[in-house]
Amino acid sequence: MSWKDCSKPVIPFFALASMVALVPSAVAQEITPPPPSVGTNVPASYFGPFPSQIDRKLVGPVQLLRSGTLDIRTIEIPLYLGHMDDGRNVWYILTDTSDKDNAEALGLNHSGKLHYSNVGRATRSARLNTRAGLVFETGTVDFSPDRKLVPGRGANAFPPRVATPGSIGDADYTPLVRIENAGGHVYNAPVVAFDKTAAQIRSCNKRPNYNLVHDRVARICPKGNGGGTVTIKLTGIFSFAKPSLYMSTEASDPVSRRSTTAPSHRRRASCRSGATTASSAESSGCSSWPTGPRVV
């Protein structure tokens, strides 16, 4: 990638991606041990967690987003129901927060640096109501488009000829939410369905309607009065030579990761003018980076 005059930064995209889990590699020295219930008459529920869940340096997988249950490249996590000021339903999930104590209590990723995102319009505001639900001031998402990706011709498959996202946020939408009456902490709260009832989006045991919900949703099972669970599809990567899983929910480019296109992500770029190389641009603060919660 070439870097141009940073007075007009050229940035491919911003992506919001949450790490979920770090999985030990399957080499001879690092084999995930079977649960201690294997070969015994003692049920698995009797035993404690893997040593790595207590100390990440010890043997075993590390689940970073502990609010849900991991399966094969999916995680089932709590589903929350909030509302816009005008009463429209907002179905969302939580993955990261700047509140260390609440991260521990809810099993979220703690990220103190989320405080730095509260600049300009990179976050949106919400308030807790008397029923412990969030009321959002701004930011809506349209899930009705059909996601479409057509590769380029011949050897030039990228960039694609057509890239239509399956969900689009408005100019004010960002998953980063500052809760004004809860210590001013920032949460990563991606929206997975908007302005729909529980009955309309419920797909507990079948393929969901992707014109109603996020393209990363594998199953969604809301309760009648709010809450419930949602199963999110994960992506496999390698992190420090370890296989890992993460979820991607928002990006500024429609090509990226079955994500909601969020134009507000582009406003997170800032730099001093005059940077013309990758190294000088990075030192000036002009770069693109992935942000978001890790799952394992």
List the one residue out of 269, 272, 268 whose CA is nearest residue 281.
272
Confidence of residue 16 (pLDDT cuts 50, 70, 90): low
- At 186-215, the pLDDT tens digits run 999 999 999 999 999 999 999 999 999 999
Contact at 8 Å (CB) between 186 and 176?
yes
CB 22 within 8 A of CB 70: no
Question: What is the bridge-based pairing of β-strands 89-92 and 80-84?
Answer: antiparallel
Write down the pLDDT at residue 196. 96
Query: Which of 204, 76, 77, 191 has its CA nearest to residue 124?
Result: 191
Q: What number is the average pLDDT over the span 96-101?
A: 96
Buried b (16+ CB within 10 A) or exposed e, 226-259: bebbbbbbbbeeeeeeebbbbbbbbbbbbbbbbb
User: Which pLDDT value is given to residue 139?
Assistant: 96
Cis (ω within 30 of 0) for the bond into 159? yes
Which pLDDT band, with edges at 50, 70 and 90, does 6 fall under?
A: very low
pLDDT value at residue 253: 79
Domain presence at residue 202: yes
Q: Is there a domain that residue 122 lies in?
A: yes
- What is the pLDDT at residue 99? 96
DSSP string, 165-203: -S-EE-TT--SEEEETTTTT-EEE--EEEES--HHHH-B
Q: Is the pLDDT of residue 40 over 90?
A: no
Judge whether 248 and 292 are in contact, CB under 8 Å.
Answer: yes
CB 79 within 8 A of CB 91: yes
Residue 168 belongs to a domain = yes
Q: How far apart are CA 107 and CA 116, in angstroms?
A: 22
Residue 264 main-chain phi, psi, to 5 deg: -65, -25
| Residue 51 belongs to some domain of the structure | no
Q: What three-state secondary structure class fits 7? A: coil
Cα 18–Cα 222–Cα 214 angle in degrees, nearest 5: 45
Give the Å distances, CA to CA, from 242 to 22, 64, 108, 161: 7, 14, 21, 34
Structural domain contains residue 31: no
Residue carrying structure tokens 């890790």: 294
Q: What is the rounded CA–CA span in Å between residue 101 and residue 60?
A: 25
For residue 232, being part of any structural domain is answered with: yes
Q: What percent of the chain has pLDDT over 70?
A: 77
pLDDT digits 0-9 by tens, 121-169: 889 999 999 887 899 999 999 999 999 989 899 888 888 888 889 999 9
Compute the average pLDDT of residues 103-112: 95
Structural domain range at position 167: 15-24+59-268+289-295
Q: Report d(CA 209, CA 61) in Å as an integer.
A: 33
226 pLDDT exceeds 60?
A: yes
277 pLDDT more than 60: no
Whether 277 is in a domain gets the answer no
H helices of 132-288, in order, are 198-201, 278-283
**What is the rounded CA–CA span in Å between residue 147 and residue 216?**
12
> Does the residue 209 lie in any domain?
yes
Nearest Cα to Cα of residue 168 among 90, 264, 235? 264
With 90 as the cut, is the pLDDT of residue 293 above it? no
Number of domains in the chain: 1
pTM above 0.85, yes or no: no
Can you tell me the distance from the alpha carbon of 284 to that of 34, in angstroms, rounded to the nearest whole number? Answer: 48
